[in-house]
A and B are shown apart, each in its own frame.
Chain A
Amino acid sequence: MLSTSGLDATFAALADPTRRAILARLLEGEASVLELAEPFAMSQPAVSKHLKVLENAGLITRGRDAQRRPCRIEVEPLTQVNHWLDRYRTLWEAKFQRLDTLLEELKDEEKAMKAEGGNEA
């Protein structure tokens, strides 16, 4: 379980589209700074800055290999964020399923009214 400040760091790190794209790339496997910089047309220092934010949020770890220091994605903080999204989704889905039921009832009522009107005519 992450602390609230940990979650805030995760949300903040995820707020940036480049950092989300870096994470999406790392889902495919680990990569060096150089490999990450290439598709983003960014300088190595700029990518390193993003990696620092991701690392501080616990979203990635860096390997020990002094030359490459490959980046690896860490799933745990993202899983935690997704738990909140999932809970929120469930809360609303329960309401929307009651709305589905209501809409079916309203359609039935409308049909019944039309049928009644039809009989009278």
Chain B
Amino acid sequence: MSKTDLEISLPSDREISMARSFDAPREMIFKAYTTPELLKRWLVPFDSEFAVCEVDLRVGGKLRLLWRMEGQPDLGLTSIFKEIVPSERLVATEIFDGGAESLSTLIFKERGGRTEMTNTILYDSKETRDFVLKTGMSTGVSDAYDKLETLLATMPVA
């Protein structure tokens, strides 16, 4: 997999933050995040599909996603929109079925036709946050010192 500018950081004990830029105007990315037809085209791994993909884009409205993969139990996510500033900001609670509620804040900033996205997710506890981090998929192992430098660089020294 090629290296991109996706940065993962841990701003506090209960948060995970992601930052990445995209070569597109922010209106387009906002649409990709909030339109069922478009969500189906990127938020689904190749070997799965959405059994449910519904978006009611208004404050208090619900987003419901249900991923289906052969031979695996369905994975569901329910989200309630708390704050909507079209193309700029999207705040929503998120609960994976059977899990704890978290709060996701998505911010899109456009600079010269490119969009910088940050998504900060606040979990109910440090334990939940750590669990989410630990359930990521496996990759290879590379040089320990490089990774250490990267880790320290991504952790804000307040």
Contact = CB atoms under 8 A, between A and B. Distances in A.
Given A89-B8, A99-B42, A24 B152 contact: yes
Interface residues of B, number: 46
Contacts of B4: 93, 96-97
Contacts of B152: 20, 23-24, 27
- Determine chain A's interface SS by DSSP, over half rule: helix
Q: Report the 7 A-B pairs with minimum CB-CB distance, sorted nearest first.
A: A87-B136, A88-B136, A103-B24, A98-B42, A82-B147, A99-B42, A17-B158
17 contacts: A11-B13, A11-B130, A15-B12, A15-B13, A20-B155, A23-B152, A79-B144, A86-B139, A88-B8, A88-B132, A89-B136, A94-B1, A99-B29, A102-B41, A103-B29, A106-B38, A107-B24
Interface of A: 4, 7-8, 11-12, 14-15, 17, 20-21, 23-24, 27, 75-76, 78-79, 81-103, 105-107
